[in-house]
Structure 1
Amino acid sequence: MPLAEIPLCVWRTRSQGFTFRGQSIRYWTAGHGEPLLLLHGFPTASWDWHYLWAPLTQRFRVVACDMLGFGDSAKPPDHDYSLLEQADLQQALLAHLKIDQPVHLLAHDYGGSVAQELLARHHEQRLEIASCVFLNSGLFPESCRMLLIQKLLLSRVGWLVGRSFGRDDLVRNVSQVYGPCTHPSESALDDLWSLIVANRGARILHKLIHFMPERFAQRERWGGALRQGGVRLRFINGVVDPLSGAHMLQRYREEVPDPDTVALQGIGHYPHTEAPVQVLRHYLAFREQPLTYIPQKVAWS
Structure 2
Amino acid sequence: MTLNQWRQQGKFFQYKGFNIFYLDEGEGELLVLIHGFPTASWDWHKLWPELIKRYRVVCLDMIGFGFSDKPRDYDYSIFDQADLHQALLASLGINRFHLLAHDYGDTVAQELLARFQDWQAGKIADENGYVIQSLCLLNGGLFPETHRPLLLQKLLLSPIGKLISYLSNEGSVRKKLNAILAPDKQMSDGQWQDFWTLIRHNRGLEISHKLIRYMLERKINRERWVGALINSAVPVRLINGSLDPISGAHMVTRYCELVPENARDIVPLGQVGHYPQVEDPKAVLTAYLEFSRALTGG
Whether these two folds match at TM > 0.5 is: yes
SS in 2 for 1:37: strand
* Contact 1:177 1:269 (8 Å CA) reproduced: yes
* Contact 1:232 1:291 (8 Å CA) reproduced: no
**Partner of residue 56, structure 2:** 61
Segments of 4+ moved more than 4 angstroms? none
TM-score, structure 2 normalization: 0.94
Instruction: State the AA in 1 paired with 2:285.
Output: L
**Partner of residue 187, structure 1:** 190
Paired residues in the alignment total 286
1:283 equivalenced with 2:296 (yes/no): no
Measure, in 2, the Cα distance between the counterparts of 1:154 and 1:228: 30
1:291 is displaced (CA, Å) by: 5.1
Task: Give the alignment's Cα RMSD to 1 decimal.
Answer: 1.0
Counterpart of 2:109 (choices 115, 131, 136) is: 115
**Partner of residue 250, structure 1:** 253
Measure, in 2, the Cα distance between the counterparts of 1:19 and 1:171: 31
SS in 2 for 1:242: coil
Q: How does 1:12-161 map to 2 (within 5 A)?
A: 12-100=7-95, 102-125=96-119, 126-161=129-164
Measure, in 2, the Cα distance between the counterparts of 1:127 and 1:256: 24
TM-score, structure 1 normalization: 0.93
1:273 equivalenced with 2:278 (yes/no): yes
Where structure 2 has 5 or more consecutive residues not aligned to the other structure, the ranges are 120-128
Instruction: State the AA in 2 paired with 1:201.
Output: G
Measure, in 2, the Cα distance between the counterparts of 1:226 and 1:146: 21
Q: Deviations over 1:49-93 (max 9, x none)?
A: 000001000000000000000001010001110000000000001
Measure, in 2, the Cα distance between the counterparts of 1:118 and 1:252: 19
Instruction: State the AA in 1 paired with 2:89.
Output: L
Measure, in 1, the Cα distance between the counterparts of 2:82 and 2:130: 11
Measure, in 2, the Cα distance between the counterparts of 1:111 and 1:213: 15
Where structure 1 has 5 or more consecutive residues not aligned to the other structure, the ranges are 1-5, 293-301
Instruction: State the AA in 1 paired with 2:240.
Output: N
Measure, in 1, the Cα distance between the counterparts of 2:76 and 2:239: 27
1:266 is displaced (CA, Å) by: 1.2
Change (3 A) 1:117 1:291: farther
**Partner of residue 9, structure 1:** 4
**Partner of residue 124, structure 2:** none
1:253 is displaced (CA, Å) by: 1.2
**Partner of residue 223, structure 1:** 226
SS in 1 for 2:44: helix
Change (3 A) 1:290 1:191: closer
SS in 1 for 2:130: coil
